[in-house]
Structure 1
Amino acid sequence: MKRLLITALILGITHSGQAQIPKTLYVVNGLAETLTKINLEINTVTNHIVALGIVPNQVVVKGRKAFVVNSISSNIQKIDLTADTTLGYISLGEGKNPWNIALTDSQIAYVSNFSANSLSKIDLINDSVLGEFPVGQSPEGLVYYNGKLYVCNTGFNPSDFSYGLGSVAVFDPESDSLLTSIKVGKNPQYIKPDFKGRLHVICTGDYFSVFGQAYLINPQTNSVIDSLPLGGTPGQFRIAWNGTALVAAGGYANSGYVYSYQTKTDSILHDSDNPIAVNLGASDVAVDRLNQGYVACFSASTVDRIDTQGNLLDTYLVGDGPLSLALYDPRPNGDASGDFNISLADAVLLVNYIFKGMNIPGSLAYGDCNCSGSISLADAIWLVNYIFKSGPLPCEF
C-alpha cells in the first residue's frame, strides 16, 4: 500500500482540467423565458443571463454547455456556460412541441416530441437532425440508461384532453428501433434510475380521479416490479445519493408540495397526506452530492434549498415561473480527494477509506464511481481501470 501511495504521488496522473465555473444551479424561468444561475459556493443569484426561446421547458447541463428545450420555438438552444452566451440552435421542425432531451454521449441526443408522438435524433456538434422515429402517444420524460432509451408515453389525447394507457417505450439508439413497451400507470411523465439498477417512473394521474404513483421497473426484464401510491399530482423528481427520492408535486394554494420516498426500502416518507411544504408551485427538483435538494417553485418565482428530511435551508429569488433546474458541479465524480482532478491518488484514498477509515472530504458520493449508492473496493478498481486501461469514466448521477 505504501508503494502504491508513493507511485500515485510521483505520477500525479490527472484526467480533467481545472474548474473554471463554480458549483452552479441553472434555472429555466418559464414565464420570463430566460436563464438564471445561482452560484452555490457564495449563494449569489444572477437573473436573466441568457434569453431563451418561446416556452422553454427543460435545461440539461453537460460539461460547460447547457442545452435548453424550447417547446413552441421547436428547437434546442446551445449555451456556453463559461461566457453565458448562446452558441446556436438546432431546429426540429414545425409541429413537434419538443418536451425533454437526453444525451447518449457528448455528440448525440434524443428529444421527445409531445405533439408529433416521436423522438428526434440530433447531432449536438454539427447542429443537425439525424432522424425522427415514432415512439408512442404524447411522449414527455426520457432517460438514457445502460445503452437504452426509456421514454414516458403519457397517452394524452389532445382531441378530448383525456389520458389513455400509459407506457414506457424501450428504444435502442444503436439501431434506432423500438424494442418493446412497458405498461405503467396513468400519465407517466418522468423516469430516472436508482442506485439498485431499477427505473422509477412517476405517473401523475389524470388530475381528476386517478392520482399519482411511482412505478418501479426492472430494465433487465422490462417489467413492472412494484408501485408506490403517492397521491396528488406528482411530477419531476430526483434521487439523492442517500436513496431519498424528492418529487415535485405542485401545490398552488397555501404552499407548494414535495413528496419523498426511500428507494433503498421502497417506503413512502411524505405523500399527499403529509407533503414537505415549500413555496408555491413546486415544478422541478435537483439534488447535489451533499444530499441537498433544490426545488423550483413556479408560482413564487423562487428556488428553495432543502435537505432530504424536508427542512428548509435557503430560498433564492429567481425569474418569473421557474420550472426546470440543472446542476453544474466542477468536482467530477471519482474525485475522492476534492482537488477537482481524477488521479491514482483518488483510488488510493478510497482504499484507505475502506480499510483505514480515512476521511473523504465533502461527501462520500464523490467516490461512488459505479453509482451503487455506497463505497466499496469496486470503486477503486473502477478508477484504476479508467486511468491505466482506458476504462469508462466514473458514472454520472
Structure 2
Amino acid sequence: MRYFLVFILSLLMLSAVCSAQSYERLYVVQWGDESLAEINLATGNVTAHAVDLGYGCNDICISGSRIYVANSLINTLQEIDAQSNHTVRDLPMVGGLNPYSVASLNSDTLLVTHFRSNNVLLIRLSDGAIAGRIPVGIAPEGIVVSGDYFFVCCTGYSQQGYDPGTVHVFNRGTLLPVDTLQVGLNPQFAAVDHRNRLHVVCTGNYSEITGEIHVFALSDLQRDTILAIGGTPSRVSFGGGYAFLAAGGWSGSGSVFRYSLESLQLLNGPSNPIQTSTGAYDVAALPNGSFFISCSGADVVEQRDATGGLIRSFLVSSNPGYIALYRTDNVQNTLKIYDKDYNYMCAYPNPFNGVVNFKLHSQNVMHYNINIYNKVGQLVDRLSVPAGTSVIQWNSGARLGNSLSSGVYYVTVPGFLNADILKIALIK
C-alpha cells in the first residue's frame, strides 16, 4: 500500500511538471537587485540575473517574443527580446508619471497605467511612439484586456488615504469610456475567467478594512457577487477550476488564498491559508490547478499543487516580485506598420462655455472628422475638417441647442493615429 501511494504521488508530481512544460519559461522581476530572472521549466535551470532592469522595476507583460517591464521610478518601459534576453530599447513614458502595469491591446499597441499622472498611455510598438493618452481615475494600477473591453483599476490613493475604488471600462476598438464600476477599497488588480467574468481584487487599507473580490459578468457589466475574502490579497490567477490569490505574509510563512470558480466559495482564506515561503507576492496558475508563487521574503519561486503541496522550489536572486509565463507558440512577429508622422490636437479654452476651438497639426494634408462623445460613449456631434485646416471652432449651443448638459466630453480624430483622446469640460 505504501508503495502504491508513493507511485500515485509521483504521477501527480509528474503531471504538474509536464503541465508546466507546456510553458517553456517563467520570468521573474526582482526588485531587490533590479534584475530579471529566467526559470527554464523543462530543465529546472535558473538564470538568477538574466537581464538588468531599471530603477523601480514593477509589472511585467509578455507580447509575442518580447518582454516588457515597467520601470516606475525612472519612467520608462523596458523592451527585452525573449530569445536572447537582451534589452532592445528603453521607451520613455512621456506624458505619464510612475508607470505601473502593462497590458497588450493588440499586436502593435501596449497599454500602460501611470499611477501618479492618472492616465493610461498607448505605446505603439512599431516605432515606440506614444500613440495616445487616456485620462482615468485616481492612482490607476492594474489593467486587463478581454474581448471588446479593457479595464483599469483605480485605487483612489492619495496622501490622505483611499477614496472608494473604481474600475474604468473602455471600448477596446474606439478607446472610449463605456462604464465605471464601483468596487471595494484599493482595487489593485483584475482578471477575466473562462466564464467571461471579471474578478476585481480589492486589497483593503492594510488595516481594519480587509480584502474583497468583486465579480462582474462581462455580458452586461453587472455585479454577480462580492466575496469577502479578508486579509490583503493582491494578484489573482485561475487554474484547475480555482482562483489563487497572492496574499503576502511577511513573517513566519507566506499566504495564498483560494476560492472555487464554480461556487465562488472561499476554500483557503486568512484562517486556513495555503502556506508558502515568506512574502507571497505574485501568482501564476496552470490549467491543472498547480501554481507558481514568488516569495519575496525568501528569494524563491515555488510551484505548488492546488491544495498547497510543494512540487518544486527555485532559488532566484533578490526579492522576486511579479512573474510571467512564456511559451513560443504565443509568439507573433508580425507588426502592423503605421504612418509615423507626428500628429497632435489640443482644445482651448478648456473648460469652455458653449464655444471651444480645436487646433490640429498633421504632416498629412487631408480631410478629417472630429468626433465628440459623451461620457457613456454616445456620439453627440461630428465636425468636418477640410484639408489644410489647422483650427476649427465648435459652437455646441448653435449646433445642438440646449441638449448638452454640463460635464465631460471626449474628442477623437480618426486618422490621427498618435494623437491623444481629448477630454473637454462644458460648463454652463
What's the offset of the Cα at 1:37? 0.4
Which amino acid is the alignment partner of residue 229 of structure 1? A
Identify the residue that residue 213 of structure 1 maps to in structure 2.
Answer: 212
Q: Does 1:183 align with 2:182?
A: yes
Partner of 2:162: 163
State the match for 1:131 in structure 2: 132
Partner residue, 2:15: none
Task: Confirm or deny that 1:198 pairs with 2:186.
Answer: no
| Paired residue secondary structure (1:104) | strand
Query: How far, CA to CA, are the matches of 1:174 and 1:152 in structure 2?
Result: 19
Bigger strand fraction: 2
Aligned-pair distance for 1:140? Answer: 0.5
Distance 1:180 1:22, change over 3 A: closer
Match of 2:111 in 1: 110
CA separation in 2, counterparts of 1:331 and 1:83?
A: 17
Tell me the equivalent position of 1:302: 300
Q: CA deviation at 1:75?
A: 1.3
What aligned pairs does 1:267-282 form with structure 2 within 5 A after superposition? 267-282=265-280
Distance 2:90 2:107 in 1: 16
CA distance in 2, matches of 1:293, 1:330: 20
- C-alpha distance in structure 2 between counterparts of 1:272 and 1:238, whole Å: 18
Match of residue 311, structure 2, among 313, 336, 346? 313
1:82 aligns with 2:86: no
Shift of 1:209: 1.0
Code of the residue aligned with 1:164 in structure 2: it is: D
Residue pair 1:74, 1:94 contacting (<8 A) in 2 also: no
Task: Give the conservation status (yes or no) of the 8 Å contact 2:96–2:121.
Answer: no
SS of 1:184's equivalent in the other structure is strand
Match of 1:65 in 2: 66
Q: Which residue of 1 aligns with 2:421?
A: none
Structure 2 residue aligned with 1:261: 259
Distance 1:22 1:179, change over 3 A: closer
- 2:257 maps to a residue whose letter is Y
In the alignment, is the contact (CA less than 8 A) between 1:194 and 1:243 conserved in 2?
A: no
| Partner Cα separation in structure 2 for residue 331 and residue 220 of structure 1 | 29
- Taking a change above 3 Å as real, the CA distance of residues 197 and 95 of structure 1, as seen in their structure-2 partners, is closer
Match of 1:101 in 2: 102
Are the counterparts in 2 of residues 195 and 243 from structure 1 also a CA contact under 8 Å?
no
Q: How many residues align?
A: 310
Asked whether the 8 Å contact 1:22–1:39 carries over to 2, the reply is no
Residue 327 (structure 1) shift: 0.5
> Does the 8 Å contact 2:98/2:117 carry over to 1?
yes
State the SS of the aligned residue for 1:277: strand
Shift of residue 63, structure 1, vs aligned partner: 2.4
Equivalent position amino acid for 2:79 in 1: K
Shift of 1:22: 7.1
Cα distance in 2 for partners of 1:35, 1:45 equals 11
Residue-by-residue CA offset, 1:127-148 (whole Å, 9 max, x unaligned): 1111111110111111001121
Q: Which moved more, 1:197-206 or 1:63-72?
A: 63-72
5+ unaligned residues in a row in structure 2: which ranges?
1-21, 332-428
CA contact (8 A) 2:188 2:202 kept: yes
> Does the 8 Å contact 2:246/2:255 carry over to 1?
yes
Q: 1:289 to 1:330 in 2, by over 3 A?
A: farther
- Which SS does the other structure have where 1:125 is aligned? coil
| Cα RMSD (Å) | 1.6
Higher Rg of the two aligned structures: 2
Amino acid of the residue matched to residue 245 of structure 2? Answer: V
SS in 1 for 2:185: coil
CA offsets per residue over residues 65-120 of structure 1, 9 Å max, x none? 11111111111111001111000021113761111011011111111111011111
| Amino acid of the structure 2 residue aligned with 1:36 | A
What is the Cα deviation at residue 331 of structure 1?
A: 5.2
Tell me the residue number matched to 2:368: none
Are 1:141 and 2:142 matched, yes or no?
Answer: yes
Structure 2 CA distance for aligned equivalents of residues 37 and 217 of structure 1? 35
Residues 69 and 101 in structure 1, CA contact (< 8 A), matched pair in contact too: yes
Change (3 A) 1:329 1:291: farther
Decide whether the 8 Å contact of 1:135 with 1:178 is kept in 2: no
Q: For each residue in 1:279-322, what CA deviation from the matched residue of structure 2 results, as whole angstroms up to 9, or x when unmatched?
A: 11111001233432100111111101111111111111112111
C-alpha distance in 1 between matches for 2:301 and 2:36:
13
Structure 2 residue 123 is matched with structure 1 residue 122: yes
Matches within 5 A, 1:292-371: 292-330=290-328
Hey, which bits of structure 1, 4+ residues long, moved more than 4 A? none
Going from structure 1 to structure 2, the CA distance change for 1:311 and 1:148 (only over 3 Å counts) comes to same
Calculate the TM-score normalised by the size of structure 1. 0.76
- TM-score for the superposition, normalised by structure 2: 0.70
Q: Is the Cα–Cα contact under 8 Å of residues 288 and 327 in structure 1 kept in the other structure?
A: no
CA contact (8 A) 1:63 1:328 kept: no
Which residue is equivalent to 1:237? 236
| Alignment partners' CA distance in 2, 1:154 and 1:262 | 26
CA contact (8 A) 2:193 2:199 kept: yes
Instruction: Report the Cα distance in structure 2 between the residues aligned to 1:94 and 1:127, rounded to whole angstroms.
Output: 14
Q: What is the percentage of aligned positions where both structures have the same residue?
A: 33
Structure 1, gaps ≥5 residues long: 1-20, 334-397
The one-letter code sitting in structure 1 at the alignment partner of 2:325 is L
Q: Distance in 1 between matches of 2:56 and 2:96?
A: 14
